[in-house]
Amino acid sequence: MTPNPNSLSENPLYLAGELTHRFHKRLTHAFRTAKLGVTVEQFSVLALLYYQDGLTQQEIAEALGRDKATITRILHIMERELLLERADDALDKRSKRVALTALGKQKQEQMVQISGALYFEILAGLSVEQVQVACGTLSQMLKQV
């Protein structure tokens, strides 16, 4: 059966996009208020590298679902701001490995605190079951995209 929404408020794709948009706006505002000087896109790179330091630009692009040119631009800005460093891959000199600097790790940890607080604020009032159903539904939809 294919759902036929009568309005945007009944369209799960619209609602997922709107939630993402509003979350990014609030997160951007919170990062600015904390004077971190990092965008939500840069935060996604910081978070990825925090858990998987030493990835290549291509691996970062694939993991975040972005094109390599966009990631290259973001990494260049972050390198200039001393949040990360790029070094030649020991096995393939054509490839660069990207790692967080001490400043990058520090900012990432601050941003996790801020984003975590916002995450819990948004989930306030929802039961564990509601969150599990939402995650299951969105995961299934993502598999079909």
pLDDT tens for residues 59-107? 999 999 999 899 999 999 999 999 999 988 888 878 889 999 999 999 9
Q: Residue 82: inside a domain, yes or no?
A: yes
Write the pLDDT tens digit of every residue in 118-131.
999 999 999 999 99
Q: Residue 106: inside a domain, yes or no?
A: yes
> Which of 12, 36, 22 shows the shortest CA–CA distance to 113?
36
What mean pLDDT comes out for the span 128-142?
A: 94
d(CA 100, CA 123): 30
Q: By residue range, what is the domain housing residue 48?
A: 41-143
Q: Residue 121: inside a domain, yes or no?
A: yes
Q: Residue 9: inside a domain, yes or no?
A: no
Q: Residue 104: inside a domain, yes or no?
A: yes
Q: Residue 31: inside a domain, yes or no?
A: no
Count: domains in the chain: 1
pLDDT tier for residue 1 given thresholds of 50, 70 and 90: very low
Q: Residue 66: inside a domain, yes or no?
A: yes
**CATH number reported for the structural domain that contains residue 113 in this entry:** 1.10.10.10
Comparison of pLDDT for 81 and 3, the residue scoring more = 81
> Which of 47, 71, 46 shows the shortest CA–CA distance to 57?
71
Q: Residue 2: inside a domain, yes or no?
A: no
